Chain A
Amino acid sequence: MAVNNSATTTVQDAPRSALAVPASRDSKGLPHPNYLSDGGKGLWSWLTTVDHKRIGIMYLIVVMAMFFVGGIYALLIRAEHFAPGGQLMNADQYNQAFTMHGAIMTFLFIIPSIPAILGNFVLPLQIGAKDVAFPRLNLASWYVYMFGAAFAVYSLVTNAADTGWTFYTPYSTETGTAVISMTLGAFILGFSSIFTGINFIVTVHKLRAPGMTWFKMPLMVWALYATAIIQVLATPILGITLLLLILERVFGVGIFDPSMGGDPVLYQHFFWFYSHPAVYIMILPGMGIISDLIATFSHRKIFGYKFVAFSSLAIALVSFIVWGHHMFTSGQSEFAVMLFSFITFMVGIPSAIKVFNWTTTLYKGSISFSVPMLYALSFLFKFTIGGLTGIFLGALSVDIHLHDTYFIVAHFHYVMVGGTVMAFVGGLHYWWPKMFGRMYNRTAATIAWAFVFVGFNVTFFTQFILGSQGMPRRYWTFPEEFTRLHGFSSWGAMIMGVGFGLMAITLAWAAFRGRVVGSNPWGALTLEWTHATSPPEPHNFPATPDVAHGPYDYDKVIPRVDEPANAGVGHARPANA
Chain B
Amino acid sequence: MDTTATFWLPSSASTIANEVDGLFMFLVWMSTFFFVLIVAGTILFITKWRRKKGDVGRLDTGPAHNSWLEATWIVVPTLLVLVIFFWGFRTYMKMAVVPGNAMEVKVTGQKWFWSFTYPEGTATVNELVVPVDTPVKLLMSSQDVIHSFFVPSFRVKKDVLPNRYSVTWFEATQVGEYHLFCAEYCGTKHSEMIGTVRVLSDSDYKAWEEEAMFSGEGMSMAEYGERLYTSKACVTCHSVDGSPGNGPTWQGIWGHNQPMTDGSSVTVDENYVRESILNPKAKIVAGYQPVMPTYQGLLSDKEIDALVAYIKEVGGGGE
Chain A positions within 8 Å of B, measured between CB atoms, are 9, 11, 14, 85, 91-92, 95, 162-164, 168, 170-171, 174-176, 258-259, 264-265, 298-307, 329-331, 334, 337-338, 341-342, 345-346, 348-349, 352-353, 355-357, 359-369, 377, 380-381, 384-385, 388-389, 391-392, 394-401, 403-405, 465, 468-470, 472-479, 523, 554-556, 558, 561
Contact = CB atoms under 8 A, between A and B. Distances in A.
Given A367-B45, A472-B183, 5 more contacts: A95-B188, A329-B159, A357-B70, A397-B90, A472-B191
A2 to B, nearest CB: 16
Contact of B152 (A385, A389, A397, A470): A470
B233 to A, nearest CB: 17
A300 B55 CA distance: 12
Interface in B69-113: 69-70, 73-74, 77-78, 81-82, 84-85, 87-93, 95-96
Contact of B95 (A346, A400, A478): A400
Contacts of A400: 20, 92, 95, 155-157
Contacts of B95: 397, 400
B187 A403 contact: no
A265 B161 CA distance: 9
B20 A300 contact: no
B102 to A, nearest CB: 18
Interface stretch (B60-68, B211-219, B301-309): B60-68
A556 B49 contact: no
Interface stretch (B32-40, B223-231, B270-278): B32-40
A292 to B, nearest CB: 15
Contact of A171 (B10, B62, B146, B158): B146
B62 A365 contact: yes
Counting contact residues on chain B (CB < 8 A from A), the size range is 35 or more
B191 A355 contact: no
A474 B286 CA distance: 30
Given A301-B62, A404-B150, A554-B59, A91 B188 contact: yes
B189 interface: yes
Nearest to A404: B183
Nearest to B78: A349
B187 A366 contact: no
Contacts of A330: 146, 159, 161
Contacts of A470: 10, 150, 152-153, 179, 181
B159 A300 contact: no
A363 B89 contact: no
Contacts of B50: 366-369
A468 B20 CA distance: 12
A329 B9 CA distance: 20
Interface stretch (B162-170, B235-243, B255-263): B162-170
Nearest to B34: A388
B49 A366 contact: yes
Given A168-B146, A360-B69, A366-B51, A469 B9 contact: yes
A164 B185 contact: yes
Contact of A362 (B42, B85, B187): B42
A334 B20 contact: no
B194 to A, nearest CB: 7
A125 to B, nearest CB: 23
A259 B163 contact: yes
B188 A304 contact: no
A561 to B, nearest CB: 7
B62 A364 contact: yes
29 contacts: A85-B191, A170-B144, A170-B145, A258-B163, A299-B51, A299-B58, A330-B159, A349-B77, A353-B74, A356-B69, A362-B46, A367-B45, A369-B46, A377-B42, A381-B39, A385-B35, A394-B81, A396-B91, A397-B88, A397-B90, A400-B156, A400-B157, A401-B152, A403-B157, A468-B9, A477-B191, A523-B56, A555-B61, A555-B62
Nearest to B158: A329
Contacts of A404: 148, 150, 157, 183-184
A377 B42 CA distance: 8
Residue of B92, B152, B186 ringed by the most chain A CB atoms within 10 A:
B92
A300 B60 contact: yes
Given A299-B60, A365-B60, A168 B185 contact: yes
Interface stretch (B23-31, B127-135, B197-205): B23-31
Interface string B4-15: 010111100000
Given A168-B146, A334-B96, A400-B155, A391 B84 contact: yes
A355 B77 CA distance: 12
Given A168-B146, A369-B50, A398-B27, A175 B42 contact: no
Given A301-B64, A303-B65, A558-B59, A403 B89 contact: no
A403 to B, nearest CB: 6
B87 A475 contact: no
A156 B192 CA distance: 25
A57 B294 CA distance: 56
A397 B84 CA distance: 10
B194 A170 contact: no
Contacts of B281: none
A474 B190 CA distance: 8
Contacts of A355: 38
Given A349-B77, A362-B49, A555-B61, A337 B8 contact: no
A472 to B, nearest CB: 5
B145 A174 contact: yes
Given A389-B31, A400-B157, A472-B183, A345 B81 contact: yes
